Amino acid sequence: MTTDLTRLTMHALAAAYRAGEATPSQATEAYLARIAALDTRVGGYLTVTAEAARAAARAADARLAARRPLGPLDGVPLALKDVFCTRGVTTTCGSRILEGFVPPYDATVAERLAAAGAVMLGKTNMDEFAMGSSTEHSAFKPTRNPWDLSRVPGGSSGGSAAAVAGDLAAAALGTDTGGSIRQPAAFCGTVGLKPTYGRVSRYGLIAFASSLDHPGPITKDVRDTALLLGAIAGHDPRDATSVPEPVPDYVAALDGSVAGLRLGVPREYFTEGLDPEIARAVREALEVLRGLGATTTEISLPTTDYGLAVYYIIAPAEASSNLARYDGVKYGLRVPGRDLIDMSSATRAAGFGAEVKRRIMLGTYVLSAGYYDAYYGRAQKVRTLVKRDFEQAFAAVDLIVAPTTPGVAFKHGEKEDPLAMYLNDVFTVPVDLAGIPAISVRGGFSATGLPIGLQLIAPAFEEARLLRAAHAYEQATPWLERRPELS
């Protein structure tokens, strides 16, 4: 075996299994060895489940040897963001308040991956309760960007993106509430897809903002995203907001052409806040897509500028409610107190980090008596306007092409001011508000050698179209040839 198995995409690894060139146990051991050697520097994982992974790999070995694989993911080593509950495996959501919490249940996506034969390597680091854009707000440790360890991997799914970029997992799951899959995917040069709201079950995903949380894949290439999305998508009776739409064959959808596809370029995304290198990369990408037969037109999404304000009302409001349950009574941390209120207040003060407290305070404030209409009520109405912007745009175009982030990965500690950090999500947040699918793919590199994310946005449930265009672009560009030098 000459190839380093950890460099392979999931589909290449699966092909190697089928060809008898590698086994799940070999791949799992290779990943565990690499994690042991390198993750102290990257900080991608909070928990590594080596023994369970080895056992799952052996079971996959047997199935593959018997030529009875469970499917294309059988034996593929993956990582899960620590926001997903895993039965019997510590799940902290990056927070002290859940330190030592061992769920007696699995998230639906974890269950589906296990049923598909995937091998879980462990749980990845994240901003506490998925609140952040840098993974600096994990209660346990920061994660570093494999392209430049002095920089952040983005967030909140920074551990997942860094693990995939650093070949510490073949692929991973993340969650996107305001950009938390696409932004770290952009910063780490991976593919990250936020599906349509309701496409993938949220059961067992520790809630940040229920109406905005989307689980989705972070992978090495677009084909892997199609594979992984296919495995986790579909109706779940345990999630009342999950949609009973049939799941198309996303891998099969990759083969179509993009000729004749109408691409819209939103004027509002090219403002002075956008790094000129990124603007240029997006324009070059449009050139590539035109070369493949797509047409491009400028469009307008007039409420873009308000998306972030809407987001910073709705998300904290829902978060303040979702996080009320962490009170030291049933699970997680308890700090002793003279009475119940004292105990709960002290537990929450010690268990939540500054960013989480800020959002709980903000959310509690905007929902409190007298402010509901001015803040939450108004934000929900503007959310309707944001949604309408996209609907009107999609009347004339098939996909929207935009930058994923206004800048490339920044340095640790560079964005101390909360508002400056929030502005990072300006291009990703409107899509979460509208609940429509979007993908970030590698769209080139900055002069400093950092990846640039290209974002494609589709109408609801048009993931297949999104994947087809992203795949065509990926095939037509050389970006995937570069990899970070970690070792």
Q: Segment 161-220, which members bind another protein (CB under 8 A)?
A: 196-198, 202-207, 209-211
Of 32, 48, 278, 362, the one binding another protein by CB under 8 A = 362
Instruction: Please report, as residue ranges, which positions from 291 to 310 form the binding site for another protein (by CB under 8 A).
Output: 303, 305-306, 308-310
User: Quick one: which of 320, 404, 405, 440 contacts another protein (CB under 8 A)?
Assistant: 320
Interface pattern 96-115 for another protein (x via CB under 8 A):
--x--xxxxx-x--------
416 binds another protein, rule: CB under 8 A: no
Query: CA 167, 124, 43 angle in degrees (round to 5)?
Result: 70
Least CB distance to another protein at residue 312 (A): 6
Helical packing angle, 50-65 and 24-42, nearest 10°: 150
Q: Does 325 bind another protein (CB under 8 A)?
A: yes
Applying CB under 8 A, does 241 fall inside the site for another protein?
A: yes
Q: How far apart are CA 260 and CA 298, in angstroms?
A: 16
> In the numeric block, which tokens belong to residue 286?
């449009």
Is 7 an interacting residue with respect to another protein (CB under 8 A)?
no
Interface positions, 17-46, toward another protein (CB under 8 A): none
Q: Please name which of 148, 219, 140 lies closest in space to residue 182, comparing C-alpha atoms.
A: 219
Contact status: 90 vs another protein (CB under 8 A): no
267-273: which pairs have CB atoms within 8 A and are 24 or more residues apart? 267/298, 267/299, 267/300, 267/301, 268/300, 268/301, 268/302, 268/304, 268/305, 269/301, 269/304, 269/402, 269/403, 269/427, 273/406, 273/423, 273/426
Specify the residue, 60 or 110, whose C-beta has the smaller distance to another protein: 110
Give the number of other Cβ atoms within 10 Å of residue 1's Cβ.
10
201 is catalytic: no
Cβ at position 197, least distance to another protein in Å: 4
**Span from 18-26, 64-72, 132-140, 350-358 in contact with another protein (CB under 8 A):** 350-358
Q: Buried (b) or exposed (e) across 332-369, using 16+ Cβ within 10 A?
A: bbbbeeeeeeebbebbbeebbbebbeebbebbbebbee
Smallest gap from Cβ 304 to another protein, in A, equals: 12
Catalytic residue chosen out of the listed positions 180, 201, 242, 344: 180
Task: Count interface residues toward another protein (CB under 8 A).
Answer: 97
Question: Is 321 considered catalytic here?
Answer: no
Catalytic, 81? Answer: yes
Catalytic residues: 81, 156, 180
